[in-house]
Amino acid sequence: MTEKGKPICREHVDGVTITGSKVIEGVRVVPLRRIPDERGTIFHMLRSTDPFFAGFGEIYFSSIYEGVVKGWHKHLEMTLNYACIFGRVKLVLYDERTKSSTRGTLMEIFLGPDNYSLVSIEPEIWTGLKGMSRPYALVANCATHPHDPERTTRLDPFDNHIPYTWSIKHH
């Protein structure tokens, strides 16, 4: 059960399991390809020819230590394109956009070796990440705009503004 007592749904989108009441409008989850051979592995992430590619502003990588929460944050114009290339993270999204058909929706997506996927997140959706692996996880973001702190809103991850608890859930 969720914090509000709503049943937890496990929705399958393109073979990816998402926990939450439904998929947030403006969020895409796309399974990605890994090509392993005796030399190592290629991890595909994003191509300019992908139908959801919205432009390039910057690419950065963020390490997240086990148990640490990075969030909450939302961007005014920036679309995020996340892939976890090392370790495992829990990505949590919350939609409070006034004109969205999915307003009030929370989503959990676990990314890592068992779910190597790209998550594309449109602007103004609250985003948080929790490290789930030791010693850390590494998340790549190919964003549509260079990061601008003046165009980003942040909240403490344990602020009660967003109805989510970061503790481990036993489903």
pLDDT bin (cut points 50, 70, 90) of residue 21 is low
| 24 touches 95 (CB < 8 A) | yes
pTM for the complete prediction?
A: 0.88
Q: pLDDT at position 22, please?
A: 80
pLDDT digits (tens, 9 = 90+) for 104-134: 999 999 999 889 999 999 999 999 999 999 9
Distance CA 116, CA 102 (A): 25
> pLDDT tens for residues 125-171?
999 999 999 999 999 999 999 999 999 999 999 988 999 999 887 76
Compute the average pLDDT of residues 36-49: 95
| pLDDT score recorded for residue 2 | 37
Closest to 30 measured CA to CA, from 120, 128, 127, 138:
120
Q: Output phi, psi for 89, to 5 deg.
A: -135, 155
Task: Report how far apart, in Å, the C-alpha atoms of 10 and of each of 15, 23, 76, 116 are.
Answer: 11, 10, 29, 17
Count Cβ neighbours within 10 Å for each residue of 130-163 and write b for 16 or more, e otherwise. Answer: bbbbeebbbbbbbbbbeeeeeeeeeeebeeeebe
DSSP state of 6: P
Question: Using omega within 30 degrees of 0 as the cis cutoff, is the peptide bond preceding 126 cis?
Answer: no
